[in-house]
Amino acid sequence: MANLTTLLDRLQSRIGGTAGRLVVAWLIIGAAVGGANSLGWLEKFELLFYDTAIALSGESVDDVPVVLVGATDADLQKYGWPLPDERLALAVEQMATAGALAVGVDLYRDRPVGGDEEVLAGLLRRHGNVVFVSKLSAGNLAAIEGPRAIRGSAQIGFADIPVDDDGVTRRALLFAEDNGKMQTSLGIRLALRALAARGIKPERIGDTSKIRLGAATIRPIGAGEGPYHQADTGGYQLLIDFRESAAGFRRFSVSDVLEGRADPRNFKGRVVIVGTTAQSVKDYFSVPSNRILGDRQVFGIELHGQIVTQLLRLAEGRSGQMLGLPPTLEYAWMLIVAAVALGIGWWGQRLPVLIGASFGGLVLIVLAHGLAYRAGWWVALTPAVLAWIMGVGWAIAYSMQSQSRQRKQLMSLFSRYFSHDVAEQIWTRREEVLGSGGMPAPQQLVATVFFSDLAGFTSKAEVLAPKELTELLNAYFEAAVAIIHRNGGSIDKFIGDAVMAVFGVPIPRMSKEEIFEDARRAVRSAIEFAAAIDVLNQGFVAAGLPRIAVRIGIHTGPVVAGSIGSTQRMEYTVIGDSVNVAARLEGLDKAGRGDAACRILISETTRHCLDDRFKVQRLGEFKLHGKQEAVEVYHVLGFSGTPDKVSAT
């Protein structure tokens, strides 16, 4: 196992990247599913699928060429059990005389019952198309022979039917060797007599074990045939397809025949099977429909009827033999399914796409299997389904791991610039927001730009020790970042002692109300920052540090947002005239700030976005540096009353 792991690691490293991981996953799935199948661990699931297909495929046929005559519990009370030879011979005589192609008697008669054995011997001499059953030896159980008069002849066929380990019958035994002699089953004996009446005789194909029966070439199933992995396939076995529903057989009781209630025309030109349908005798079997649909168990004569009917259909070309694919082709099919599942996982790494594709693919696999079944091929479904589930499961796990890793990287990267809520929005809408490099894609949008700077700080910084300077700046920046993020803004950059923030990126605002809300958040941040500066100054004075004063400029307008820089260093920022206007408002010296520790100036476009919760004062028109036209400037005095809480979504 260690050597296999090492080999897979080397293979992945040599191929590299996602392709290497796909190949390694494909090989692991192939080895795991193939190994489980070769050990027989999947057989019980395959048998369940097989039984389901069989149970759902039964057809109602109006003219089934087999008639069933059963001794009911009422018959046994009337005539006795075992059914006396005299009554049995009389019933069989009537059916044979009515023109039945063959009459099979699924009742053991190794010794006379209730009379002289000549009763049956005379019947069998008169009607060579009557076949009695025998039983093969099994372990310590001796064989049960047929009537003495026909032993060793073609008028005896064994009644043995294989029963799987789970108690369900799915196979017919046509020929078997017993005590050194090849024996023939009741089903094939009856079918051959019916076909002989139509001029169809069996032929052995060369030196093979295959038999040509009319239009069909029947070959015995192998140990790994169809739903089986290592079945006991001794003798010449055939998968029973159960195409005819049990309700399609014409049925009569023994008393119906003996008392003339059964019209003789019902037997003419058909195969008749006589046996018991009495619950007290317990000659019944579990079959796929019984297991899946909960139907009653079928009597032995019904099971023999299914076998005879199937053989007649095969010989007449009305259906084909149910065959299984060779193990190599089934394994190749499983590998193809695994490859497709992994390919879908690589193609659509979004979890909803994967889940939808997984269910869709599973349906297609089942449909393909159903089409193959209708064509007469049993394609192993369990290995394919398991390979599909493992492939899609790997893809989903890989997708979730990849998304978790990407999300962690993105949140780690953007949490320095965006609030947690904005970063979450970027992740949720990453398909439309992020470019190929994992950074927000370039876009033009309307945003509100926020600039703050410490007034006259250069002279104060010259007299402060490095430790005091960094402590003061860090406290100032911490307050700014916390307030801006809380109000849904994004830190664009720190420029010396200045802070640039943007409200409205990188998620584009699609409505006027959203743009207005960004402006209100920016102004709210400035007002809250002013209050924070007063608190900071109290602490600075107590620590022996100088008080600070802050200038803030805010402007709303179009910007271009994107990742700018070189291959060695890249940062996400906004550029455009709106950024310059906000920067110029922050540095506007002609608008005095009075005694306040924080002066907040906004443009006319930003003021237009505010509502009556904000108190502003018009300062007039000012010619900003780099602008030919004057800009109307307003001074933000604070909230007009107690501000409502603004969410940062």
How many CB atoms are located within 10 Å of the residue 533 CB?
A: 24
**56: its two tokens:** 């759902």
Please, what is the end-to-end C-alpha distance for the chain in angstroms?
52
Gap between the Cα atoms of 48 and 168, Å rounded: 11
Which whole number is the average pLDDT over 232-243? 88
The CATH superfamily assigned to 434-639 is: Nucleotide cyclase, GGDEF domain (3.30.70.1230)
- DSSP letter at 350 equals S
- Given this model, what pLDDT does residue 567 score? 64
Q: What is the DSSP string of 175-191?
A: EEEETTEEEEBHHHHHH
Task: Please count the CA atoms within 13 angstroms of the CA of 18 that sit on its side-chain side.
Answer: 11
* Residue ranges of E strands in 14-106: 66-71, 102-105
Task: Read off the pLDDT of residues 458-507 as tens digits, 9 standing for 90 and up.
Answer: 777 778 888 888 889 999 999 999 999 899 898 888 888 899 999 988 87
- Strand pairing report for 236-239 and 171-178: antiparallel
For residues 253-274, b (16+ Cβ closer than 10 Å) or e, as one string? bbbbbbeeebeeebbeebbbbb
- Given this model, what pLDDT does residue 647 score? 41
Token look-up 């690589």 returns 346
- Given this model, what pLDDT does residue 39 score? 86
Q: Is 616:602 a contact under the CB 8 Å cutoff?
A: yes
Q: What is the pTM of this model?
A: 0.66
Which whole number is the average pLDDT over 113-129? 89
Gap between the Cα atoms of 420 and 622, Å rounded: 37
* Residue ranges of E strands in 334-481: 377-378, 443-454
Beta-bridge partner residues of 10: none
Task: Read off the pLDDT of residues 395-427 as tens digits, 9 standing for 90 and up.
Answer: 777 777 766 666 666 666 565 556 566 666 666
- Given this model, what pLDDT does residue 585 score? 94
- DSSP letter at 576 equals S
Task: Read off the pLDDT of residues 77-94 as tens digits, 9 standing for 90 and up.
Answer: 999 999 999 999 999 999
Which whole number is the average pLDDT over 384-388? 93
Helix axes 420-428, 382-414, angle to 10 degrees: 140
Question: What's the pLDDT band for 6 if we cut at 50, 70, 90?
Answer: low
Residue 550: its H or E element: strand 550-565
Gap between the Cα atoms of 522 and 528, Å rounded: 10
Q: What is the DSSP string of 457-522?
A: HHHHHTTS-HHHHHHHHHHHHHHHHHHHHHTT-EEEEEETTEEEEEES-SS---SHHHHHHHHHHH
- Given this model, what pLDDT does residue 225 score? 79
For residues 171-209, b (16+ Cβ closer than 10 Å) or e, as one string? bbbbbbebeeeebbbbbbbbbbbbbeeeebeeeeeeeee
Which whole number is the average pLDDT over 271-286? 94
Per-residue pLDDT at 4 exceeds 50: no
Gap between the Cα atoms of 565 and 261, Å rounded: 100
Number of residues that make up the chain: 649
Q: Is 119:96 a contact under the CB 8 Å cutoff?
A: no
Task: Read off the pLDDT of residues 452-463 as tens digits, 9 standing for 90 and up.
Answer: 999 887 777 778
Gap between the Cα atoms of 475 and 457, Å rounded: 15
Per-residue pLDDT at 360 exceeds 90: no
- Given this model, what pLDDT does residue 443 score? 83
- Given this model, what pLDDT does residue 223 score? 80
Gap between the Cα atoms of 322 and 316, Å rounded: 15
Give domain limits for the chain.
Answer: 21-50+325-408, 57-321, 434-639
Gap between the Cα atoms of 556 and 489, Å rounded: 13
What is the three-class DSSP state of 22?
helix
Task: Read off the pLDDT of residues 297-343 as tens digits, 9 standing for 90 and up.
Answer: 899 999 999 999 999 999 998 888 888 888 888 899 999 999 988 88
Per-residue pLDDT at 126 exceeds 70: yes
- Among residues of the chain, what percentage have pLDDT more than 70? 86
- Given this model, what pLDDT does residue 601 score? 96
Task: Read off the pLDDT of residues 581-614 as tens digits, 9 standing for 90 and up.
Answer: 999 999 887 555 556 789 999 999 999 999 999 9
Higher pLDDT, 628 or 330: 330
How many CB atoms are located within 10 Å of the residue 502 CB?
A: 29
